Structure 1
Amino acid sequence: MAHPRMRFTAVYEAGDAWLADCSAHPTLVRTAWSAETLAPIPSGKVWLVAETLLLTSMKALNRIREEHRGPVLVDPELDKAWWLVPLDAAEELADVRQVTVHSPGWPLHCPPTGWHLDTRMWMCRPDGSGRLTDPAVLAAAVGPGGYRPRAEATR
């Protein structure tokens, strides 16, 4: 009989494949996951990492529609969340004090998309589409007024 985690992970294969391919060494990422350890995936090839406090991210997630959210990894024990954002996001988020954008090469220690490892889990899982969170949307969502899509703002 297949290991329960293996069956569960199969549902998220597209997200796992995309995430592993974001590394220069996808085989090492999958090897880490097979050993049930976090895989360090350096930022800068496909995305950068925008770090916030967990509570800040939870509030922002409630303000951003699902179709505008990219992957978000969380670690409740560390009180941190990491948003995957486009490679040009650092400049746009530079003045948002609640967000720290890590430089290219910074390793994000990731579990596979279908299950948690240690205290890390995907709050918004990579789905294989390559969708990332727009930095303008993230900046607005963590700001005082929160992000309001144009259609809602005019109501």
Structure 2
Amino acid sequence: MASRTRNSGTDWLAQCAPDPARAHRRWASDELAPIPAGLHWLVAEADLMRSITAMQRVGSRRLGPVLVHPETHRAWWLVPLGADEEFADIQALTVRLGPWTLNCPPAHAYMAGRGWLEKPDGSGRLTDPVALGAAFSPGGWRPPAEAFV
């Protein structure tokens, strides 16, 4: 059975579901919780290995939650509403708008082959769409040197 430990990232994720209590019940039963895109955030879907490289390019200050499923080689980035416009010309990213559902484990657990490479932290921080788009563009994007200071 999944850990009943609560944390702020898991609570935030549950608040993004239409029924937060149901999300917690599903996690307590070792089930993924369906959370729809388009209410609080959009989902940018990409290849897992390209996503790992992109995470380094985006950098920790611009990085939001990233869910992965290694078995299918997929990664899902949580990005702000309206970010789909930023990714219009980037074939490596597929933006999932509502009514599309992301089946999520809690932030603090790996479940059904899925886990968070970058966990939701409870702050509501999402991946910066400009940095993500640039990281997936030809040549990629590198943050300025002062970003590492």
Residue among 41, 50, 70 paired with 2:44: 50
Residue among 69, 83, 89 paired with 1:89: 83
Q: Deviations over 1:88-140 (max 9, x none)?
A: 11111111000000111210000001111111000000000000011111011
The residue aligned with 2:55 is: 61
What is the CA distance between 1:67 and its match in structure 2?
A: 1.5
Residue among 135, 138, 141 paired with 2:135: 141
Residue among 96, 101, 107 paired with 1:102: 96
Residue among 11, 16, 22 paired with 1:17: 11
TM-score, with length taken from structure 2: 0.92
Percent of residue pairs identical: 49
RMSD, aligned α-carbons: 1.7
AA paired with 1:95? D
The residue aligned with 1:5 is: 3
CA distance in 2, matches of 1:70, 1:38: 20
TM-score, with length taken from structure 1: 0.89
CA distance in 1, matches of 2:19, 2:48: 29
Structure 2: runs of 5+ lacking an equivalent: none
What is the CA distance between 1:152 and its match in structure 2?
A: 5.9
